[in-house]
Structure 1
Amino acid sequence: MAKRKMMLLINGAERMLVCDQESDTLSDVLRRIGLTGTKVGCGTGQCGACSVILDGKVIRSCTKKMKNVEYGSEITTIEGIGSPTHLHPLQLAWIVYGGVQCGFCTPGFIVSAKGLLDINPSPTRQEVRDWFQKHRNACRCTGYKPLVDAVMAAAKVIRGEMTMEELSFDIPEDGRIYNTRYPRPAALAKVTGVCDYGDDIGMKMPEALHLAVVLARVSHAKLLAIDTSEAEQMPGVEKVITHKDVKGINRITFPVGGARAKANGFDHEILVSDKIYRYGDIVAVVAARTKKEARAAAEKVTFEYEQLPEYLNILETMAIDAPQINPEYPNIYIEAPLVKGQDTREVIKNSAHVVEGSFYSQRQPHLVIEPDTDQAYFDDEGRLTIQCKSLALGLTQGVIGAGIGFPVEKIRIIENPTGASFGYAISPLMPAIVAVATMATEKPVTITLSYEEHQHITGKRAPAFSNGKLACDEKGKLTAMEYEIAYDKGSCTEAADVLIQKGLRFMGAPYAIPNAIGLSKAVISNHAHSTAYRGFGSPQCYTCSEQLMDMLAEKVGMDPLEFRYINVYREGDRSLNGNQFDTYPMVEILDKLRPHYQEAMARAKKESTPERKRGVGIASGEYNVTSGPNDHAEVALGLNPDGTVTHYNTWEDQGQGADIGTLVHTHEALKPLGLRPDQIHLCMNDTALAPITGPAAGSRSHYMAGNATINAAEQLMNAMRKEDGTYRTYDEMVSAGIPTKYLGISDTTGQTTDLDPNTGQGNPTAEYTFGVFMAEVEVEVATGKTTVLSIKCIADVGVVGNFLAVEGQAFGGMEHGIGMALSEDYDDIQKHTSLIGSGFPFINTIPDNISIEFIETPRPTGPHGSSGCAEAFQSSPHVAVINGIYNACGVRIKELPARPEKVKALLAAKAEGREIEDKKYFLGSDLHETIDYIKANPVTVG
Structure 2
Amino acid sequence: MKRISVNVNGVERWVVADPKRSLADVLREQMMLTGCKVCCADGQCGSCTVLIDGKPIRACVTPMEKLTAGSKIVTIEGIGTPENLHPLQIAWMAHGSAQCGVCSPGFIMSAKALLDKTLTPTREEVRAWFHRNRNLCRCTGYKPLIDSVMDAAAIMRGDKTIYDVMPKAKEDGSILGTEYIRPSAVAKVTGTWDFGADVALKMPAGTLRLALVQAEVSHALIKGIDTAEAEKMPGVERIITWKDVGGKNAITGLITFPTNKGDGWDRPILCKEKIFQFGDAIAIVAADTEEHARAAAKKVKVDLEVLPAYMSGFAALAPDAMEIHPGVPNAYYEQGVVKGADTKPLMASAAAVVDITTYCSRQPHLHLEPDCGEAFVDDDGVLTILSKSIGVHLHHAMICPGLGIPPEKLRLIQNPTGGTFGYKFSPTMEALLGVAALVTKKPVSLVYDQYQNITYTGKRSPANINIRLACDKNGMLTAMETDWWLDHGPYSEFGDLVTLRQAQFTGAGYHLENIRGKGKTVATNHAWGSAFRGYGSPQAFLAGEIAMDMLAEKMGEDPLEFRYKNLYNETSTTPTGQKPEVLVLKQLFDLIRPKYLEAKQRAAKLSTPETKRGVGISLGIYGCGLDGPDSSEARVEMTPSGFIVHSGWEDHGQGADLSAQTMAHEVLRVAGVKPEQIGLVMADTFGPNGGPAGGSRSNVFCGNAIRVAAEMLLNAMKKPNGGYRTYKEMVSENIPLSYDGKWVAAACTDCSPDTGQGNPFPIYMYEVFMPEVEVDVETGKATVVKLTTAIDVGTIINKATVDGQVYGGLAQGLGLALTEDFEDLDLHTTLKDCGIPYPKDVPDDIEILYLETARPLGPFGAAGVGEAPLTALHPAILNAIYNACGVRIFRIPALPEAIKMGLEAQAGAAAAKKDLQHH
Question: TM-score, normalised to structure 2's length?
Answer: 0.98
SS at match of 2:305: strand
Matched, 1:809 2:769: no
Cα distance in structure 2, aligned partners of 1:800 and 1:214: 47
**Post-superposition shift, 1:429?**
2.9
1:683-732 CA distance string (max 9 Å, x none): 112222x2111110111100011211221122112212221022222222
Q: Secondary structure at the match of 2:566?
A: coil
Q: Name whichever of 543-552 and 623-632 sits farther off.
A: 623-632
Deviation at 1:914, TM superposition (A): 7.9
Quote the residue 1:746 is aligned against.
743
- In 2, distance between residues paired with 1:914 and 1:341? 43
Could you tell me which amino acid in structure 2 is paired with residue 573 of structure 1?
A: S
Kindly provide the amino acid, as one letter, of the partner of residue 739 in structure 1.
P
1:14 paired with 2:12, answer yes
Correspondence 1:291-306 to 2 at 5 A: 291-306=290-305
* CA distance, structure 2, for counterparts of residue 737 and residue 55 of structure 1: 63
Listed one character per residue, the Cα deviations across residues 242-296 of structure 1 (whole Å, up to 9, x for unaligned) are 1111111100012122232112211000111000010020111111111111111
Q: Which residue of structure 1 aligns with residue 562 of structure 2?
A: 563
Q: Write the distance in 2 (CA, Å) between the matches of 1:870 and 1:695.
A: 14
1:933 aligned residue: none
What secondary structure is seen at the aligned counterpart in 1 of 2:750? coil
One-letter code aligned to 1:8: V
> Which residue does 1:845 correspond to in 2?
841
Distance 2:752 2:375 in 1: 42
| Contact persistence 2:92–2:148 (CA under 8 A) | yes
- How far, CA to CA, are the matches of 1:915 and 1:346 in structure 2? 40
Consecutive aligned runs of 4 or more in structure 1 exceeding 6 Å deviation: none
Kept after mapping to 1: 8 A contact 2:581/2:762: no
Question: 1:31 deviation in Å?
Answer: 4.0
Superposed displacement of residue 319, structure 1: 2.2
CA offsets 1:599-658 (integer angstroms, 9 cap, x no match): 00100000000100000011100000111212110000001123x111101100010000
User: Are residues 1:576 and 2:575 paired?
Assistant: yes
Residue in 1 that maps onto 2:915 = none
Evaluate the alpha carbon distance shift between residue 26 and residue 719 of structure 1 in structure 2; reply closer, same or farther with a 3 A threshold.
closer
**Which has the higher mean CA deviation after the structures are superposed, 141-150 or 316-325?**
316-325
Quick check: 624-633 or 813-822, which moved more? Answer: 624-633
* 1:536-935 matches, cutoff 5 A: 536-642=535-641, 644-688=642-686, 690-749=687-746, 751-913=747-909
Aligned to 1:208: 207
Distance 2:243 2:235 in 1: 22
What SS class does the counterpart of residue 3 from structure 2 fall into?
Answer: strand
Compute the displacement of 1:915 (Å). 12
Q: Match of 1:870, SS?
A: coil
**2:819, 2:138 → 1: CA distance?**
14
Distance in 1 between residues matched to 2:418 and 2:578, nearest whole Å: 37
Q: Could you tell me whether the CA contact under 8 Å between 2:775 and 2:781 is conserved in 1?
A: yes
One-letter amino acid of the counterpart of residue 567, structure 1: N
Aligned to 1:410: 409
2:95 paired with 1:97 = yes
What's 1:5 paired with?
A: 3
Aligned to 1:467: 466
Which residue does 2:34 correspond to in 1?
Answer: 36
CA distance in 2, matches of 1:563, 1:510: 13
| Matching residue's letter, 1:444 | P
Say whether 1:374 aligns with 2:386.
no
Give the letter for the 1:724 counterpart.
N
Superposed counterparts of 1:180-195, under 5 Å = 180-195=178-193
Aligned mates of 1:711, 1:278 — CA distance in 2 = 45
Whether contact under 8 Å (2:22, 2:59) holds in the other structure is no
Distance 1:915 1:617, change over 3 A: farther
Distance in 1 (CA, whole Å) between partners of 2:791 and 2:638 is 37
Q: Distance in 2 between matches of 1:373 and 1:915?
A: 57
Partner of 1:928: none
Is the contact made by 2:168 and 2:178 (CA closer than 8 Å) also made in structure 1?
Answer: no
Provide, for residues 305-364 of structure 1, a one-character-per-residue CA deviation record: whole Å limited to 9, x for no partner: 001001101111112332222114111111111011111110011010111101101100
The match for 2:447 is 448
Other structure's SS at 1:211 match = strand
| 8 Å contact kept, 1:383–1:410 | yes
- Tell me if structure 2 keeps the 8 A contact 1:355–1:471: yes
Partner residue in 1 for 2:126: 128
Which digits, 9 at most, give the CA deviation of each residue in 1:788-814, with x for residues without a partner?
A: 001121111110111111111111110
Shift in Å at residue 758 of structure 1?
2.4
Q: Is the 8 A contact 1:652 1:696 kept in 2?
A: yes
The aligned amino acid for 1:832 is: H
Please, which runs of 5 or more residues in structure 1 have no aligned partner?
A: 917-942
Secondary structure of 1:670's partner?
Answer: helix
Structure 2 contact 628–750 (Cα < 8 Å) conserved:
yes
Secondary structure of 2:509's aligned partner: coil
Hey, what's the Cα distance between the residues in 1 that align with 2:758 and 2:302?
50
Q: CA RMSD in A?
A: 1.2
Q: Counterpart of 1:818 in structure 2: which amino acid? A: L
Distance 1:11 1:554, change over 3 A: same
Q: Which moved more, 1:783-792 or 1:708-717?
A: 708-717
Aligned partner of 2:50: which letter? V
Q: 1:42 & 1:389 partners in 2: Cα distance?
A: 17
Helix, strand or coil at the partner of 1:912: helix
Distance of 1:87 and 1:768 partners within structure 2? 40
Q: Closer, same or farther in 2 for the Cα pair 1:523/1:915, shift >3 Å?
A: farther
Contact 1:253 1:265 in 2 (8 A): yes
Distance change (3 Å), C-alpha of 1:72 and 1:464: same
Partner SS for 1:570: coil
Deviations 1:895-925 (A, max 9, x none): 1101111111111011100899xxxxxxxxx
Q: Which residue of 2 aligns with 1:919?
A: none
Residue 848 (structure 1) shift: 0.4
Alignment correspondent of 1:171: 169
Structure 2 equivalent of residue 145 of structure 1: 143
Q: Deviations over 1:570-605 (max 9, x none)?
A: 123111211101201000000000000100010000
Query: 1:510-555 CA distances to partner (integer Å, 9 max, x unpaired)?
Result: 1111111011211000000000000000100111010000000100
Aligned match of 1:281: 280
Q: CA deviation at 1:464?
A: 0.7
Secondary structure (helix, strand or coil) at the match of 1:793 reads: strand
CA change 1:338–1:729 in 2 (3 A) is same
Shift of residue 556 of structure 1? 0.4
Aligned residues: 911
Secondary structure of 2:867's aligned partner: helix
Contact 2:27–2:36, Cα closer than 8 Å, also in 1: no
Rounded to whole Å, the distance in 2 between the matches of 1:147 and 1:47 is 15
Identity of aligned residues (%): 47
Unaligned 5+ runs, structure 2: 913-919
Aligned partners of 2:17 and 2:26 also within 8 Å? no
Match of 2:754, as an amino acid?
N
The worse-fitting range, judged by mean Cα deviation, of 740-749 and 718-727 is 718-727
> Is the 8 Å Cα contact of residues 629 and 752 (structure 1) preserved in structure 2?
yes
1:526: which partner in 2?
525
CA offsets, 1:136-171, max 9 Å, x none? 000000000000000000001111111222222222
Find the aligned partners of 1:473 and 1:396 in 2 and give their Cα distance: 49
| Aligned amino acid, residue 84 of structure 1 | P
